[in-house]
């Protein structure tokens, strides 16, 4: 019988932690705002350190509560954000389709994942800002990158909402399917259906869904 995580006034089947990672300026914060609050802000402000939001969704008749962490892309924050890989069950790698450097640096982020994340963590690649006219990364090149690492690829626009919901729905389903296949008694962080630590649970309690 699978484990359930339940709290008073807040019932759900799975609690999962997902990270948004990628270079600064690719739209990670805007993606998070569009998904959790259906908002898009025209002003740009770089994320300082890390932030997170909560979203509940239904996947295959399971209620999944997602902790979605928005990480800073600047190099000077890397030592801070590395600690947040612990307990993560999914990672969304973001580049901007009009930014060659952000696309090239996906390899760098993949290396970071290998160093700091669980071996069986679920990964999804997304090319953001498809609404802009100055695209320089082709769909084919991006798809080849995703296929190289054997991960799904989505093209998104945080501005108009294209494929934002579909991306998060897909990673939640992949994580749920992976958890259900793994032994429930394993001590690997990926298999635990409770938050990675008590401090995160306290933060969780203070965030409005």
CB proximity list for 41: less than 8 A, separation 6 or greater: 30, 33
pLDDT value at position 181? 87
Considering its fold, how many domains does the chain have in total? 1
Report the pLDDT value the prediction gives residue 71, as an integer from 0 to 100: 78
By DSSP bridging, strand 90-96 and strand 14-21 are parallel
Q: Split the chain (209 residues) into runs of 10 and give each run's mean pLDDT.
A: 50 93 91 91 56 90 93 59 82 97 94 89 97 97 97 97 96 94 57 40 43
CATH number at residue 112: 3.40.50.300
Q: Is the separation of the CB atoms in 169 and 57 below 8 Å?
A: yes
Task: Give me the domain span that covers residue 31.
Answer: 5-205
Q: Which two tokens stand for residue 85?
A: 């890989």
CA distance 158 to 44: 13
Q: What local confidence, expressed as pLDDT, does residue 187 receive?
A: 46
**E-strand spans in 97-201?**
122-128, 153-155
Angle at 19 between CA 6 and CA 14, to 5 degrees: 20
């Amino acid at each position: 019988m699978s484990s359930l995580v339940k709290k008073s006034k807040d019932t759900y089947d799975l609690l999962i932690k997902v990270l948004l990672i990628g270079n600064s300026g690719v739209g990670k914060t805007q993606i998070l705002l569009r998904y959790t609050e259906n908002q898009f802000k025209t002003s740009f402000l770089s994320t300082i350190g890390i932030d997170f939001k909560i979203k509940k969704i239904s996947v295959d008749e399971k209620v999944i509560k997602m902790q979605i962490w928005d990480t800073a892309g600047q190099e000077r924050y890397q030592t801070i954000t590395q600690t947040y890989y612990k307990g993560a069950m999914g990672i969304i790698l973001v580049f901007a389709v009009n930014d060659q450097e952000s696309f090239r640096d996906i390899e760098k982020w993949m290396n970071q994942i290998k160093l700091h994340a669980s071996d069986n963590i679920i990964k999804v690649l997304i090319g953001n800002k498809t609404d802009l006219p100055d695209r320089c990364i082709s769909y084919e090149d991006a798809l080849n990158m995703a296929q190289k690492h054997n991960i799904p690829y989505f093209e998104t626009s945080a501005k108009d909402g294209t494929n934002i919901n579909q991306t998060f729905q897909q990673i939640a389903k992949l994580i749920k399917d992976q958890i259900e296949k793994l032994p429930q008694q394993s001590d690997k962080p990926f298999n635990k259906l409770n938050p990675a630590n008590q401090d995160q649970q306290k933060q969780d309690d203070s965030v409005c869904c």
